[in-house]
Amino acid sequence: MATGDRDRVVEQTQGATTERSASRVLSGVAVAITLLVLSPLAWLVLRAGEMDAARAIELLTSQTTIEVTANTIVLVGSVTLLSAFVGVPLAILTVQTDLPFRRFWTVTSALPLVVPSYIGAFAFVSAFGPQGHLSDLLAPLGVDQIPAIYGLPGATLVLTLFTYPYIFLTTRAALLSFDGTIVEAARSLNHTRWEAFKRVTLPQILPGIAGGGLLVALYTLGDFGTPSIMKYDVFTRMIFNEFGARRIDYAAVLSWLLLAMAVVILAIESRIEAGRDGAYVSRGARRPGEIKLGVWKLPATLFCGAVATLGLALPIAILLQWLVRGGVGYSGAGRPFELGFAWNSLTVAAAAAAVSVVVALPLAYLAARGDSRISSLPDRLSYVGYAVPGVVLGLALVFLSLKYVPFVYNTVFLLVFAYVVRFMPQAVGTTKSSLLQVDPSYVEAARSLGYPPLTAFRKVVLPLVAPGIAAGGALVFLTTMKELPATLMLRPLGFETFVTYIWRVQESGYYGQAAVPALVLVAVSGLSMLVILGREQQNGA
């Protein structure tokens, strides 16, 4: 077969000049979208230009800055490391051993991801805090002091429990795509099972572990809710507080540092990605033989059970307990939950999803079919969504809008725009991957049967990518519902959603009132996980 011909052809298929101009329009649209999405970052740059150099250096080298930087690095490092120690063994146990009830443990190991970390933190504080349930429970037994939940230990514990599934899932994927015959080859070359694991399996799954680890690191770096609840000073919490105190210069300086760290993490990620050639490629049908756990069966099961209890059963039990238990500290004072809040959440999320899907289509098309430098824009763009934490985005948009477009400030439009910037990359991703699965010859076939390009796209491509587009929209919708910091910073006055309501009752300590919205958000996250898993299954088939 003339493979060479075909590849070239796919790259070069630019028939008539009308098509060329059409692709130019497409590129123009993509560039415009990119600029718009990058505009919040532009504010940070502008801000830097305005600031006096001496003042900037003073702020950068202040005692607080150094402490906060150290805190952040320690938190990111410890959460990532701990997550690997939890996630990797779980992945190996559920994929490669004779662990009893493997399917069950697979599900419970992935599920903690559905608990938004700030809700988890909230639940843990309510249970383990100074006046928490646990101390109430233990007081009659003579235990009057339990370890402090606040600060670094609490933040590390909570973030690890709710983010280790990233490492679990990527490691699991690496193990599953791993060709078992390679292990058999190693064993035929006189390696014991353990040696084969060390010399063959581990190097192959290392990129998977690292990929998950970097997701954990990025999440931890950008997470605002957990450190705030745990009263641990990291960049996000400081930026939010400085913003509240209207000390914008300092907030901006901290934002640069935060972004710089995100860039470093992404740079490491892309280096690992580049070195990944050769890993992941083998798609052998054969599984490596099961590892017999023997006497380790019970400890392994207990380990899985302990993680599931802490990451899943406990937070949900606490939320349910809030629901049924009344009394002081649980309900009463404060503003009760109103249906209107739910409606607000749903409408902004739906608007963000709709805009994202529409904007994502041209970007995804360009990324999937494009042949120019512009076609890689969407991929770079997705980094913005991952790298810019909600607090930084919120801060940038508040001041950008006040300065240049004051009429959008304090409106839902600004809020929706923030969501689109942060979450649209998810829609680009799913749309792009489904476009990539559509054979370019479908369009050629339709055209040879008499349909002009746009009609061919509508009749053949669109029906095939519709599920991908829908999944992208659903993901944006669901993640928007959970978004905390940008929502807090950008919502119009008096505009309450699930998230802002939870935050308010958390601050005032009326746990019981948070039960319903918190459970709704957990369910919402669960749904988004189902969407992702459903896509994976479809793509795998």
Q: Which spans of this chain sit near other proteins (rule: CB under 8 A)?
A: 1-6, 8-9, 12-16, 439, 441-442, 444-452, 456, 459-460, 463-464
Q: For residues 136 and 439, which CB has a smaller minimum distance to other proteins in the complex? A: 439
Calpha distance 254→150 (Å, rounded): 23
Q: Is 193 exposed, middle or buried (0-12, 13-18, 19+ CB in 10 A)?
A: middle
What's the min distance (Å) between Cβ of 372 and other proteins?
Answer: 15
Instruction: Write out the two tokens for 528.
Output: 């988004």
The three-state secondary structure class of 312 is helix
- The torsion angles phi and psi of 506, rounded to 5 degrees, stand at -65, -45
Distance, in Å, from the CA atom of 376 to the CA atom of 30, rounded to the nearest integer, reads: 10
Residue at token pair 């973030």: 159
- Residue closer to other proteins by CB (options 391, 460) is 460
User: Cα Rg for the chain, rounded, in angstroms?
Assistant: 25
328 DSSP β-pair partners: 331
- Smallest distance from other proteins to CB 431, Å: 17
| Least distance (Å) between residue 5 CB and other proteins | 4
**Minimal distance, residue 22 CB to other proteins, in Å:** 12
Minimal distance in Å, beta carbon 470 to other proteins? 14
Give the residue with the Cβ less far from other proteins, 249 or 444: 444
Q: Provide, rounded to whole angstroms, the least separation between the CB of residue 16 and other proteins.
A: 6
Pair 494, 500: CB distance under 8 Å: no
- Which C-beta is closer to other proteins: that of 439 or that of 507? 439
| Residue 77, both tokens | 């490092």
- How many helical (H) and strand (E) elements, i.e. helices and strands, does the chain have? 26, 0
367: Cβ–Cβ under 8 A, 6 or more apart, which residues? 375, 376, 377, 378, 379, 428, 432
Q: Which is nearer to other proteins, 230 or 465 (CB)?
A: 465
Q: Which is nearer to other proteins, 20 or 231 (CB)?
A: 20
Q: How far is the CB of 25 from other proteins (least distance, A)?
A: 18
Tell me how far apart the alpha carbons of residues 275 and 419 are, in angstroms, rounded to a whole number. 33
Q: Which two tokens stand for residue 203?
A: 């190097």
Residue number, 1 or 324, with CB nearest to other proteins: 1
Task: Go through the chain and tell me how many residues it has.
Answer: 541
Q: Exposed, middle or buried by CB within 10 Å (0-12, 13-18, 19+), for 521?
A: buried
452 vs 492, which CB is nearer to other proteins? 452
The CA distance from 510 to 328, in Å, is 8
**C-beta closer to other proteins: residue 239 or 438:** 438
Among residues 273 and 444, whose Cβ is nearest to other proteins? 444
Q: Give residue for tokens 């302990």.
A: 306
Beta carbon of residue 249, minimum distance to other proteins (angstroms, whole number): 53
Closer to other proteins by Cβ: residue 303 or 442: 442
Q: Nearest distance from residue 342's CB to other proteins, in Å?
A: 36
Max Cα distance, the chain (Å): 84
Comparing CB distances to other proteins, the nearer of 192 and 441 is 441
Nearer to other proteins, 56 or 464 (CB): 464
The distance of Cα 266 from the centroid of its chain, to the nearest Å, equals: 14
In whole angstroms, the minimum distance from the beta carbon of 441 to other proteins comes to 4
Contacts 24+ apart (CB under 8 A), 11-14: 11/371, 12/371, 13/440, 13/444
Closest distance between other proteins and the C-beta of residue 61, in Å?
A: 54
Q: SS3 for 331?
A: strand
- Tokens describing residue 112: 């903690």
**Among candidate residues 529, 412, 528, 453, the one with its CA nearest the CA of residue 109:** 529
Please state the closest distance from residue 10 (CB atom) to other proteins, in A.
Answer: 10
For residues 212 and 164, the answer to whether their CB atoms sit within 8 Å is: no
The H-assigned helical ranges of 235-288 are: 235-244, 248-274
CB of 466 to other proteins, least distance (A): 9
- The nearer residue to other proteins, 70 or 445, going by C-beta atoms, is 445
Tell me how far, at minimum, the Cβ of 430 lies from other proteins, in Å.
18
Which residues neighbour 215 within 8 Å (Cβ) at sequence distance 6 or greater? 163, 166, 167, 170
Q: What is the DSSP letter of 328?
A: B
What tokens appear for 459 in the block? 């009749």
Between CA 505 and CA 508 the distance in angstroms is 5
